[in-house]
Amino acid sequence: STYLTRKGRCSVEIFTILRFPDPRLKLVAQPVIRFDDSLGQTCANMLQTMYAANGIGLAATQVNIQQQILVVDLSAANNQPLVIINPTIMNKAGSIIWEEGCLSFPGIYAKVKRSEKINLEFYDPQGQRQNMSVEGLLAICIQHEIDHLNGITFVDHLSPLRKKLLRNKLDKISQES
């Protein structure tokens, strides 16, 4: 797969996704300050990594890039990519409980309470400021990925009892990594 930049075509690299309990998943990402071809390449690689893993969202911190970049695509055909850089949730409304999974926690699913609707400010890969209101699964996915950028995983949202119930699965994952 290739990605078109101002300088021509670049090949796409599939990144390695960090898995729990990798301590790098707890790092807080830094804002992107350079909007250039290198950033475009990183975004293209992140999208291809997400598609290769059959995911619907991926944060840069999950591939050991400590920058505020996330990618999302809820389409069945993987043809509606959304790249969000330096996101800020401006406001939230409602609440929804959804069973979430995570590429960094293979085989682990848990119900998480999130805001049903969010208004988001962010930059696109060209450095243009964007504003967007989303709801439902897209809002859930974006909140999940923003959490990653802040060193928070979906398991951190669970009650102590729910974490305890998942502990055997989590321990099994950490022994495999």
Q: What is the per-residue pLDDT for 47?
A: 96
Render pLDDT for 125-174 as a digit per residue (tens, 0 to 9).
999 999 999 999 999 999 999 999 999 999 999 989 888 888 788 787 77
- N-to-C CA span, the chain: 28
Does this model's pTM top 0.85? My answer is: yes
Helix (H) or strand (E) holding 118: strand 117-123
Give me the helices (H) in the chain, please.
Answer: 37-52, 136-149, 160-176
What is the 3-state secondary structure of 47-73?
HHHHHHCCCCEEEHHHHCCCECEEEEC
Task: Enumerate the β-bridge partners of residue 34.
Answer: none
Distances (CA, A) of 136 to 43, 74, 105, 113, 114: 24, 11, 22, 12, 10
- Is 145 one of the annotated active-site residues of the chain? yes
* Distance in angstroms (rounded) separating the CA atoms of residues 177 and 175: 6
28 beta partners: none
Residues 12-64: tens digit of each pLDDT = 889 999 998 899 999 999 999 999 999 999 999 999 999 999 999 999 999 99
Provide the 10 A C-beta neighbour count for residue 66. Answer: 14
What does the alpha-carbon distance between residue 97 and residue 119 come to, in Å, rounded to a whole number? 18
pLDDT interval class at 177 (50, 70, 90): low
Which of 13, 121, 145, 176 is labelled catalytic? 145
